[in-house]
Chain A
Amino acid sequence: MSENLNKLNVEQIRKDFPILQRQISGKQLVYLDNAATSQKPRSVIDAITAYYEGYNANIHRGIHTLAEEATDAYEGVRETVREFIDAEQTHEIIFTSGTTEAINLVAYTWGNANILPGDEIVLTAMEHHSNLIPWQRLATERSARLVFIPLTEDGQLDMVEAKKLIGEKTKLVAVTQMSNVLGTINPIKELAQLAHSKGAVILVDGAQGVPHVKTSVRALNVDFLAFSMHKMLGPTGVGILYGKTELLNAMPPFQSGGHMITSVWREKATWSELPWKFEAGTRNIADVIASGKAIEYLSALGMDNVREHEIEITKYALNKLNELGDITIFGPKNATLRGGVISFNVDAIHAHDIGQICADAAIAIRAGHHCCQPLMRDLNVMGTARASFYIYNTKAEVDLLFEALKEADKVLGHVACR
């Protein structure tokens, strides 16, 4: 890999991603929509084909070579994930279909068993709908109350308020590790301490954080961590739920059916031990196996190097985009306080128009509410445009984005009546 150990060799990395060769209307693709989903390296794509061509079989209980190979590969990834997030035990890693399913699993099992009328669930004003709606439904069903930690002017959690809001009634603190809109990286360790000091449990939505920041569940001391492989070089359809053993053991199963049982009678059944208690039915074997390759790829680069690259490109982008006089950039101004996600509006131009003009320049960004409608309301915008970076993005690509935004401002800026 790179000769300079502290830097990513971006040119070399780009060669590993077939899609980055893609031309759109004769222009080289510039992919800046990584917070929605990342692109996939050749090793991940090949792993899917290798499974289907070489050892496709259902896992567990199959007494034949293919089933043994598939089981070994699938369970091997569990250990790869454990190591990646520094969990204590391999059985604390549950494969789900994504972050959303992982959070729903906790809401429906732990939540139903533990949230009582009058209890409080503490969220933040920057949560993605996936870490909001499950708790809304739970709170309604259990007559519990949702409490929201507000944000400071520059889009960070107001920790003074957090200390007041996390109290004796708090049963759960559910918070994102990194905002998918503002890029803000939250002080998870401090929030975990606050939650635990009140006897509450903390769940972290790591969908944006884990792909970009070295994450140790033990160092942070979180109780649950949910994240998605497709945002970190892996395929779609695989999420991870990490949970502490004692919590997972005390929880009832989520979905039930095949594979999550030990013994079944006509009228009753007993549950498998961890982690299989939570993995009913045939899982997404091929994509779990390919997810292992994604983690191996990131581990080989080193998550500290990934982070350093993103700070550098984010710092560059914040400076460059600010050269456009008409731009509003949301979130912390300091690149070390945020991930590689930049949400912005240019003049009063609708975000979809900005997205369209970027698309015309073969630049993929996202535009809209980013599944954060309450936050959009707080920011007093209908939506924002959002560029998000990953390991293969370059400063030259930021420059192309800048040119496209200049064009958008020229064509559609200076709106008369809104």
Chain B
Amino acid sequence: MSLADDLYRETILDHYHNPRNHGAIEHPTAQVEGVNPLCGDELTLYLTVKDDKIEDVKLTAKGCSINTASGSMMSELLLGKSVEEANQIVDLFKRMMLDKKEEVELPEELEDLEALRGVKKYPVRIKCALLPWNTMLEGLGNVLKSPLP
């Protein structure tokens, strides 16, 4: 297996070629820009949260395959989740990508994210995978700070 096979697996390529929830929301509850100054990657995350539930999520991203695929998978998994559940998933994913000591296990419903585990072998690319998730954390935080009336 070649090195790049870790990065360019089928799941990643599928999300890269057909990113889910691509686009914008006209009146979102939260809208956050994420930037990766090292690669120049940019993304805008739109969130609609109603009754503590993520009703809609959209992303417009200008970035590499890892970044695009990671954001696409994230949007699929977090859609319909409560803010707290979403925060927990983000936290778990970040631990999986960043924990150097042990392999963090993922529950079955998050198994798509396994495809991104291979990115860990390429330290410079980890930040590409994390950008959408860090942006999501900021978005969820904004939702909590200014709940809808």
Which residues on A are within 8 Å of B, measured CB to CB?
25, 349-350, 352-353, 356-357, 359-360, 368-369, 373, 376, 382-383, 411-412, 414-418
In addition to A349-B65, A411-B4, A416-B17, 17 A-B residue pairs with Cβ atoms within 8 Å of each other are: A350-B64, A352-B128, A353-B64, A353-B66, A356-B7, A356-B122, A357-B4, A360-B3, A368-B39, A369-B40, A373-B40, A376-B40, A382-B39, A411-B13, A412-B13, A412-B16, A416-B18
B3-A25 in contact (CB<8A): yes
**Cβ–Cβ < 8 Å partners of A415 in chain B:** 16-17
Residue B34, interface by CB 8 Å: no
Partner of A418, one of B2, B8, B40, B62: B62
Nearest-Cβ distance from residue A408 to partner chain B, whole angstroms: 9
A-B contact list, 11 entries, CB within 8 Å = A350-B41, A350-B65, A352-B39, A356-B4, A357-B4, A360-B3, A369-B40, A382-B62, A383-B40, A411-B8, A415-B17
B8-A417 in contact (CB<8A): no
Residue B80, interface by CB 8 Å: no
Nearest-Cβ distance from residue B22 to partner chain A, whole angstroms: 5
Partner of B40, one of A357, A368, A414: A368
**Cβ–Cβ < 8 Å partners of A25 in chain B:** 2-3
Report the nearest B residue to A382, measured CB to CB. Answer: B40
CA distance A417 to B60 in the complex (A): 9
CA distance A368 to B36 in the complex (A): 12
Nearest-Cβ distance from residue A418 to partner chain B, whole angstroms: 7
**Cβ–Cβ < 8 Å partners of A369 in chain B:** 40
Interface residues on B, range: 20 to 34
**Cβ–Cβ < 8 Å partners of B66 in chain A:** 353
Report the nearest A residue to B42, measured CB to CB. Answer: A382
CA distance A110 to B128 in the complex (A): 42
CA distance A376 to B17 in the complex (A): 25
Report the nearest A residue to B7, measured CB to CB. Answer: A356
Nearest-Cβ distance from residue A370 to partner chain B, whole angstroms: 11
**Cβ–Cβ < 8 Å partners of B40 in chain A:** 368-369, 373, 376, 382-383
Interface hub of A356, A357, A412, A414 (most chain B Cβ within 10 A): A356
Residue B125, interface by CB 8 Å: yes
Contact with A along B129-141 (1 / 0, CB 8 A): 0000000000000
Nearest-Cβ distance from residue A364 to partner chain B, whole angstroms: 14
Report the nearest B residue to A358, measured CB to CB. Answer: B4
Nearest-Cβ distance from residue A382 to partner chain B, whole angstroms: 5
CA distance A352 to B127 in the complex (A): 12
Interface hub of B17, B40, B125 (most chain A Cβ within 10 A): B40
**Cβ–Cβ < 8 Å partners of B22 in chain A:** 417
B63-A356 in contact (CB<8A): no
**Cβ–Cβ < 8 Å partners of B13 in chain A:** 411-412
Residue B71, interface by CB 8 Å: no
Nearest-Cβ distance from residue A60 to partner chain B, whole angstroms: 41
Given A352-B128, A356-B125, A411-B8, residue A383 in contact with residue B3 (CB < 8 A): no
B62-A383 in contact (CB<8A): no
Contact with A along B1-29 (1 / 0, CB 8 A): 01110011000010011110010000000
A360-B4 in contact (CB<8A): yes
Nearest-Cβ distance from residue A52 to partner chain B, whole angstroms: 32
**Cβ–Cβ < 8 Å partners of A368 in chain B:** 38-40
**Cβ–Cβ < 8 Å partners of A382 in chain B:** 39-41, 62
Contact with A along B94-109 (1 / 0, CB 8 A): 0000000000000000
Nearest-Cβ distance from residue B130 to partner chain A, whole angstroms: 15
B64-A352 in contact (CB<8A): yes
Interface hub of A350, A360, A368, A376 (most chain B Cβ within 10 A): A350
Contact with A along B61-100 (1 / 0, CB 8 A): 0111111000000000000000000000000000000000
A412-B39 in contact (CB<8A): no
Report the nearest A residue to B19, measured CB to CB. Answer: A417
Report the nearest A residue to B17, measured CB to CB. Answer: A416
Nearest-Cβ distance from residue B79 to partner chain A, whole angstroms: 18
Report the nearest B residue to A369, measured CB to CB. Answer: B40
CA distance A352 to B65 in the complex (A): 9
CA distance A353 to B67 in the complex (A): 11
B2-A360 in contact (CB<8A): yes
CA distance A360 to B39 in the complex (A): 19
CA distance A25 to B3 in the complex (A): 9
Report the nearest B residue to A357, measured CB to CB. Answer: B4
**Cβ–Cβ < 8 Å partners of B64 in chain A:** 350, 352-353
CA distance A376 to B19 in the complex (A): 25
Partner of B63, one of A350, A373, A376: A350
CA distance A349 to B67 in the complex (A): 12
Report the nearest B residue to A354, measured CB to CB. Answer: B64
CA distance A416 to B18 in the complex (A): 6
Nearest-Cβ distance from residue B119 to partner chain A, whole angstroms: 11
Report the nearest B residue to A383, measured CB to CB. Answer: B40
**Cβ–Cβ < 8 Å partners of B8 in chain A:** 357, 411-412
Report the nearest A residue to B23, measured CB to CB. Answer: A417
Nearest-Cβ distance from residue B15 to partner chain A, whole angstroms: 11
CA distance A412 to B15 in the complex (A): 11
Report the nearest A residue to B128, measured CB to CB. Answer: A352
CA distance A412 to B62 in the complex (A): 15
CA distance A413 to B128 in the complex (A): 19
